[in-house]
Chains A and B, each alone.
Chain A
Amino acid sequence: MIYLDNCSTTRPREEVATVIAKSLLEDFGNPSSLHRLGIRAEKKIKEARAIISNFLNVEDREIYFTSGGTESNNLAIQSFVRKLSKKGMHIITTKIEHPSVLNTMKFYEKQGFEITYLDVDDKGYISLSQLENSMRDDTILVAVMHVNNEIGIVEPIMEIGRIIKDKNPNTIFHVDGIQGFGKVDIELKLGKVDSYSFSGHKVHGPKGIGGLFIDRKHDIEPVIFGGNQERGIRSGTENLTGIIGFGEAVRLATENYVKEREHVKELKSYFADKIKAEIKDIRLNSRLDDKSSPYILNISFLDTRGEVLLHYLEENGIYVSTSSACSSRGTEKSHVLKSIGLGNREIEGAIRFCFSYENVKEEMDYTVEKLKASVSEIRQIILR
């Protein structure tokens, strides 16, 4: 099996699986219990939180555990909007956000909020001047993703943060970091980021666990009410196993992050070069330089269908994703690829390859070989 769908989810590291198995049986106490088991559980959470806050270079009390990326985005946006709606009803976001942000925005649009959706250029960058011009006194929140999940573009968080705060220091800056966390550097404090969401299973941790950084200067109201776990922000008995596994995944990421990223960067450019050399009529939808995540490579194979190509590769044990579902109704075309100006021909044939530290060069060679054969077979049928 060659797994190149690491943006969808990753395989947990062995150590993570071991820690989880152990914790399930041994650390089953409820962290809220007053007895020793509870205290031990609480301590484990504290350790995991420290690992993550250390990794992000923030304070322990600025990290909240959630069920994952979607919840983190919702929690941040909904809490801030609820708190600030008296001060203004204007929100800014981009056209290439993840559905967990876009659909939350759509909800507020229906509630009467005004939402500005920033355009992106053909690489996927938001327009900084458009951002600057869109900022107003009643702009309560700006949400921009760190790394785009389909094409891997890294938005200039530092500059965006500076523009926002220069224009309106009261505007909240939320960053969806799901594809950036553990993969691309970020300095939250320097970037003036108020909240940053991230997820466990994208970094070789378990599913069902994620986190949210909220700058300590903010005092927000919860969306879910209950026993006031996570300092009242996220009630509900803690997902102890998930937190422990997540902590272990981040501990290992902290150790191996730089080395693994270099490895993946090399793979990506090797793979892209090889495809460019071997297969005609393609379009790279991701950059190969530092402005793109080394973990993501999106390519359009013109005159193919992404989904068909996906199944051809799957037949050979290679797992990838399409950016757009193959649909005769044309309603499920990738909004991201559309936003960077691609036409139907490019969108229909788009495939997303997402790497991990586990991939090796030989896998890239094999994948290119199978890609080449599959693309040519599909084209024979489509371009008869």
Chain B
Amino acid sequence: MKELISVSFGEIALKGLNRRYFEDQLIKNIRRAIKDLNIERIYKEQGKVYIEAPKPNFPKIISRLKKVFGLVNISPCIRVDKTMEAIEEASIKAITSKDDGIRTFKVQTNRADKNFPIKSPEVSRIMGGIVLNKFSDLKVDVHNPDMYLYIDIKQNAYVYTEKIRGYGGLPIGTNGKALLLLSGGIDSPVAGFMMAKRGVEISAVHYHSYPFTSERSEEKVKELAGILSRYTGKIKMYSVNILEIQKQINLKCKENEMTILSRRFMMRLAEKIAEKEGLNGLITGESLGQVASQTIEGIGVTNASVKLPVFRPLIGFDKVDIVHIAKDIETYETSILPFEDCCTVFLPKHPVTKPKLEDILKSEELLDVEYLVDEALENMKVTVIE
């Protein structure tokens, strides 16, 4: 009898011929997430991955696994030989360790090994009888039980009572790489999370206007990237100072175009970094209509500054829903810390909400765009965040 942890995959089970590739990447990601927790062995057995490690480390391992994309369920389980006696012993042990306020149960057997002589419903029936006998206060409820007793019969038999939900999605690294425009706000970390959940490897770029913004706000962004990296693995973060760009816009262009012009510069800078680093797209936290620059016209004009695909996973989300995810992934508390940027100096009082591309292009003619972009990138700083 051995106690271990099992994990099951979601969507990747459907990936046909690519399944092997997805599984291998997932196991690699699992291994990386828990490598410092004295893992003894990780193996595959008929559609699930099993992890052997010292039992005191289980809570930590489970909490890390919950953040690995591609996992649907995580279960602490007991592995025994494929005999009814061993399964009985494991079932009693599993229920004994759980026995808190549980009144009803149901046994659910899955017999993957068709050579096992007793069929699933029969195994469930026999084990149900044994449990009823042993635990006099438990009753069977097949519709809405307090607890399931799961029995998987494969090469070995596995008994467990818990299915802890993972985030699902696809293993990181199976869907290319993209550059996240990461601000200190609530939205962009969530956008990064959503794309990472679809298997995208994330890098991040942060724009600041030091000394018009505080070094503390940069620290805050690094902290957000740090929280995000619990899901994504290490994140390469590029910090770019755009003060000179803002100064030039401020000096030469219309006040109400400040935001949209800055956004176009941010996209251009991001695209340059992405091209140089071999990334396949950009990610922003834009949500339609949330602020003046995120109108459909504003996004159109911003978008026209780059050729790479721009992913906006939050485009149709209400703020409350974004906040909900931010709280769930634990970026919210950091996002709302009040290290406000003095960027407000550059915030127009009435930003243009329906910019026309030709007007904006005309304004940009007043600026030496290429020079400003190159100069900003020259002073870029890179940090690796883990």
Contact = CB atoms under 8 A, between A and B. Distances in A.
Nearest to A377: B247
Contacts of A332: 338
Contacts of A327: 338, 340
A120 interface: no
Contact of B211 (A312, A325, A384): A312
Contact of A308 (B211, B247, B340): B211
B345 A307 contact: no
A36 interface: no
Given A328-B340, A328-B347, 6 more contacts: A308-B345, A311-B211, A312-B211, A381-B212, A381-B250, A384-B250
B269 to A, nearest CB: 21
B210 interface: yes
Contacts of B210: 311
Interface in B102-119: none
B218 to A, nearest CB: 11
A185 B340 CA distance: 39
A329 B336 CA distance: 13
Interface string A355-384: 000000000000000000000000001101
B342 interface: yes
A315 B214 CA distance: 12
B211 A381 contact: no
A311 B212 contact: yes
B100 to A, nearest CB: 38
Interface in B178-236: 210-212, 214-215
Contact of B214 (A311, A329, A381, A382): A311
A307 B250 contact: no
Among A308, A315, A325, A329, the most chain B Cβ lie within 10 Å of the Cβ of A308
A307 B347 contact: no
Interface string A288-311: 000000000000000001011011
A311 B250 CA distance: 20
Interface of B: 210-212, 214-215, 247, 250-251, 338, 340, 342, 344-345, 347
11 contacts: A305-B342, A305-B345, A307-B342, A310-B211, A311-B211, A326-B342, A328-B344, A332-B338, A381-B212, A381-B247, A381-B250
Interface residues of A, number: 17
A384 B255 CA distance: 10
A308 B340 CA distance: 12
A315 B347 contact: no
A159 interface: no
Nearest to B246: A381
Contacts of A312: 211
Nearest to A309: B211
A191 to B, nearest CB: 39
A314 B211 contact: yes
Q: Top 4 closest A-B pairs, CB basis?
A: A311-B211, A328-B344, A326-B342, A312-B211
B340 A326 contact: yes
Contacts of B338: 327, 332
A307 B212 CA distance: 8
A315 B251 contact: no
Interface string A314-342: 11000000000111110010000000000
A211 to B, nearest CB: 32
A134 to B, nearest CB: 35
B340 A329 contact: yes
A327 B214 CA distance: 12
A255 B250 CA distance: 55
A312 B211 CA distance: 6
A315 B243 CA distance: 14
Contacts of A314: 211
Contacts of A329: 340
The winner among B212, B215, B347 for most chain A CB atoms within 10 A is: B212
A314 B247 CA distance: 20
B384 to A, nearest CB: 25
Nearest to B344: A328
Given A311-B214, A314-B211, A329-B340, A384 B251 contact: yes
A8 to B, nearest CB: 15
Q: Which of B250, B251, B345, B347 has the most CB of A within 10 A?
A: B345
A327 B211 CA distance: 15
Contacts of A326: 340, 342, 344
Contacts of A382: 345
Given A314-B211, A315-B211, A328-B347, A308 B250 contact: no
A171 to B, nearest CB: 38
Given A327-B338, A381-B250, A384-B251, A308 B212 contact: yes
Contacts of A381: 212, 247, 250, 345
A327 B210 CA distance: 16
A27 to B, nearest CB: 38
B152 to A, nearest CB: 56
A83 B170 CA distance: 65
A310 B342 CA distance: 12
A382 B255 CA distance: 12
B348 to A, nearest CB: 12
Contacts of B211: 308, 310-312, 314-315
A205 to B, nearest CB: 27
Contacts of A311: 210-212, 214-215
A308 B251 contact: no
B153 to A, nearest CB: 61
Contacts of B251: 384
A306 B7 CA distance: 54
B347 to A, nearest CB: 7
Contacts of B340: 325-329
A136 B296 CA distance: 65
A162 B215 CA distance: 48
Contacts of B214: 307, 311
Nearest to A314: B211
Nearest to A311: B211
Nearest to A306: B342
Nearest to B247: A381
Nearest to B255: A384
A310 B214 CA distance: 9
